[in-house]
Amino acid sequence: MLISVIIPVYNSAAFLEECVSSVLAQNENLEIILINDGSKDDSGGLCDKLAKENANIKVLHKQNGGVSSARNAGLELAKGDYIAFIDSDDSIKKGYFTDLLAKIGSSDAVVLSINDYKVPKPFILSGSQAIEFMLKDKAHRFGWAPWNKLFKRSIIGNLRFNESEHVTEDFSFISKIFLGDIKVAFDTGGLYNYQDSDISIMRSSYNEKYDSMVLVGDNFLKECKERAPSLVPLAFFALAQGTLFLIYKAREAGLYEKVASFSARLRANIFPIIFNKHGSLKFKLVILAHAFCQKILLARYHKRAKNEATFCHN
């Protein structure tokens, strides 16, 4: 039994050795696949050095194409029965894969989700139940990133990350897997060391990459209608959350035409959003305001921004 560990690498020279060392310290049979995604620092040379020192490390150097492109390149090279993704600035604790494999073996789960947040005890859900749990989980304990999960190669199959999606592409990939006929085991874990990054795109100013969130939301809704009708109300709830996020981001950037288009998106879906079992009354009132009273909200936003600027100047 072989586990393929795919590590996208981009300008990670400061963290890469610690990351790879933590993987090499595991007791399982592993192949480590380093995808140097056009790094401009010493990451490429460090990848080659690590591969020269360790027979189970493979390296692919490619032009920069983003993390999805790098993960896809790793999937093409992977030979393992199981697939794991690790970010190059993260690390894992001893026993990480042993724990994951034990949970998959005992539960017959095909995906196991684990990270450093604690839950009372391990539990197992169907794929659609897992989607509902994770979308409604306000603490975001498990998240949609692929890096804290172990996948049976057979359930990934020919599925790949959509390289045209630059924001929430992880959600797109994971939700497609969870919409299959699978079981998902959630563990108390605590063996993945996530390095929070201030350069996350979700913290950056609005740019054209955010536009892909609309496509991700529409595709998720379409797939729920086709494969899991019970999740359709939750898909509309997720669409509303995502659109509201885009409104805030576009407004902060002064892109008011974008704000108007996202408000129109809320209006076009207002009935399935408002008459929805998901979402609080307060949330629905906020949605109504942003769908139909955007001019008033923008005027208030400009007034507040002006007052804050005056206060700072004084």
**Mean pLDDT on 109-136:** 77
- Residue 83 CA, chain-centre distance (Å), reads 16
Is there a contact between 26 and 96 (Cβ–Cβ < 8 Å)? yes
9 vs 311, residue with greater confidence: 9
Which pLDDT band, with edges at 50, 70 and 90, does 233 fall under?
very high
pLDDT at position 117 is: 55
Is there a contact between 132 and 231 (Cβ–Cβ < 8 Å)? yes
User: For residue 227, is pLDDT > 70?
Assistant: yes
pLDDT at position 115 is: 56
For residue 155, give the nearest of 132, 127, 128, 129 by alpha carbon. 127
How many angstroms separate the first and last alpha carbons of the chain?
A: 67
* CA dist., res. 142 & res. 47, Å (int): 29
* CA dist., res. 163 & res. 76, Å (int): 14
User: For residue 307, is pLDDT > 60?
Assistant: no
- With 0-12 CB in 10 A as exposed, 13-18 as middle and 19+ as buried, what is 82? buried
Instruction: Enter the tokens of residue 72.
Output: 């896809």
Which pLDDT band, with edges at 50, 70 and 90, does 43 fall under?
very high
Q: Is 164 helix (H, G, I), strand (E, B) or coil?
A: coil
Find the helix or strand (DSSP H, E) in which 78 lies: none
Which pLDDT band, with edges at 50, 70 and 90, does 197 fall under?
low
170 vs 305, residue with greater confidence: 170
pLDDT at position 303 is: 63
Q: Model confidence over 198-211: pLDDT tens digits?
A: 445 555 678 888 88
User: For residue 310, is pLDDT > 50?
Assistant: no
**Mean pLDDT on 51-56:** 97
Residue at token pair 């004084």: 314
What pTM did the predictor assign? 0.87
Phi-psi region of 272 (alpha: psi -120 to 50; beta: other; left: phi over 0): alpha
Which pLDDT band, with edges at 50, 70 and 90, does 111 fall under?
confident
Is there a contact between 212 and 169 (Cβ–Cβ < 8 Å)? yes
Encode burial over 130-153: b for 16+ CB neighbours within 10 A, e otherwise: bbbbbbeeeeeebbbbbbbbbbbb
251 vs 167, residue with greater confidence: 251
In the chain, the percentage of residues whose pLDDT exceeds 70 is 87
* CA dist., res. 174 & res. 215, Å (int): 15
User: For residue 55, is pLDDT > 60?
Assistant: yes
Q: State the chain's mean pLDDT as an integer.
A: 87
pLDDT at position 196 is: 67
pLDDT at position 123 is: 82
Q: Model confidence over 74-107: pLDDT tens digits?
A: 999 999 999 999 999 999 999 999 888 888 877 7
38 vs 206, residue with greater confidence: 38
For residue 250, give the nearest of 294, 196, 312 by alpha carbon. 294
pLDDT at position 162 is: 92
* CA dist., res. 79 & res. 2, Å (int): 8
Which pLDDT band, with edges at 50, 70 and 90, does 244 fall under?
very high
- Residue 312 CA, chain-centre distance (Å), reads 37
Which pLDDT band, with edges at 50, 70 and 90, does 312 fall under?
very low
Q: For 9, phi and psi rounded to 5 degrees?
A: -125, 120
303 vs 15, residue with greater confidence: 15
Q: Model confidence over 245-301: pLDDT tens digits?
A: 999 999 989 999 999 999 999 999 999 999 999 999 999 999 999 999 987 877 776
